[in-house]
Amino acid sequence: MQIPVSLFIGLRYSQSRKGNAFISFITLFSVAGIFLGVVALTLVSSVMNGFEGELKKRILGVIPHLTVNTEGQVNALDLQQLSPEITQVTPFLQQEALIQSSKDLSGVLLQGVEAKQLPSFLQDSLVYGDWQSFADSRFQVVLGVGLAEKLKVRTGQKIRLLLPSGGHYTPLGWMPKQRLFTIAGVFESGSEVDNLVAIVQLYDLQKLSGAAHSQWRVSLADPFKAPEVGEVLKSNAAVTTLVDWRQSHGKLFSAVAMEKSMMWLMLLLIVAVAAFNIVSALVMMVTEKQREVAILKTQGMTNRQLFYVFAIQGMSHGVTGALLGALVGVLLTSQLNTIMNAIGLQLVPGMELPIDLRFGQVLLIMASALLLTALAVIYPAWRAVQVEPAEILRDE
């Protein structure tokens, strides 16, 4: 099969090792820059994806994805059937409270839950105590590990929970509602939630606060679809108010997303600098090949074909750097924790970096590198088209 003449000459020029050594160096530097940029983007993006996923799992495993207030006769099945994204609907009550030990006092977000319907992540995150004793006894509480350390308490000890709202006046003045609770366990999510949340049984919180159950905790397959699911739930006449997780922790995830975008942009600039080094190499190549360009034009090569010759030459360098970078980036990412352990670069002993390698993202990185290369080759290829054979060959 006969290949197009532009492709043949362009690849021939790109593989040539004769001529100006400085041009060869600039070309090699450009390919290396694209290669390193793609490798760095693949590595950093995968680690950032992993951290974002861990943050999502740890914080949103404890914090309700949606909290729904209802009125009238509503059951969990009614709400769960409204959207396929909803994985679990459980009775729920959440109130701000004060928690007091013999050592300290702290504000807390008190969650009343059904002991037999705990989210799976919460069940797995218990580090001390057990959920069975929490379920079997009255007035039991499970604390986040940060909260337990601040109060200097451990399982089996008693603490006092005070609700600022709904108190009453006594001869000694206004007194908040309060009750002693026994610590049944301590959970660790590995996030700021450990410093804020205490979990009690729904019935106990209802009895302490005097509030009737009217809230539901809605868990989603993808917490980031909370706004869309929230709109669906609002269509149910029984739903009075709805709060999603973005109102309490949305700023944290927005900050992570912004940091991820800025890292992407900064590393993409490495690729951009390398890609535009191709401009220098190709401009020098066009200047060096002016006589050959003039001869090709006198032999009938069109401006379009000539443009493709130098565009193909430049793109071949971009394709080489992007393909090799993606391949090495994927290999390094898949073995990143092994490599870090081997060279002793663990951030925390015994802890591995979370990795989430997305091949769609790798393809996007490659496409970005190739797009920048394509933009870089336009000017040098256009310069080649402007060569006038009569001026170049008149002295030959």
Radius of gyration of the chain (CA): 32
Which pLDDT value is given to residue 172? 58
pLDDT in tens, 209-259: 877 666 888 888 888 888 888 888 887 767 788 888 877 666 767 777 777
Task: Judge whether residue 327 has pLDDT over 90.
Answer: yes
pLDDT of residue 129: 86
Chain segment 68-121, per-residue pLDDT in tens: 888 777 777 777 788 888 888 888 888 888 888 888 888 888 888 887 777 777
pLDDT of residue 214: 67
pLDDT (0 to 100) of residue 70: 80
pLDDT in tens, 152-162: 998 889 999 88
Q: The pTM is what?
A: 0.69
Pick from 17-21, 68-72, 174-178, 359-363: least confident: 17-21
Mean pLDDT of 295-320: 76
Model confidence band, residue 181 (pLDDT cutoffs 50, 70, 90): very high
The residue ranges of every structural domain in the chain are 5-56+253-393, 66-244
pLDDT at 349 over 70: no
HEC string for the chain: CCCCHHHHHHHHHHHCCCCCHHHHHHHHHHHHHHHHHHHHHHHHHHHHHHHHHHHHHHHCCCCCCEEEEECCCCCHHHHHCCCCCEEEEEEEEEEEEEEECCCCEEEEEEEEECHHHCCHHHHHCEEEECHHHHHHCCCEEEEEHHHHHHHCCCCCCEEEEEEEEEEEEECCEEEEEEEEEEEEEEECCCCHHHHCEEEEEHHHHHHHHCCCCCEEEEEECCHHHHHHHHHHHHCCCCEEEEEECHHHHHHHHHHHHHHHHHHHHHHHHHHHHHHHHHHHHHHHHHHHCHHHHHHHHHCCCCHHHHHHHHHHHHHHHHHHHHHHHHHHHHHHHHCHHHHHHHCCCCCCCCCCCCCCCCHHHHHHHHHHHHHHHHHHHHHHHHHHHCCCHHHHHCCC
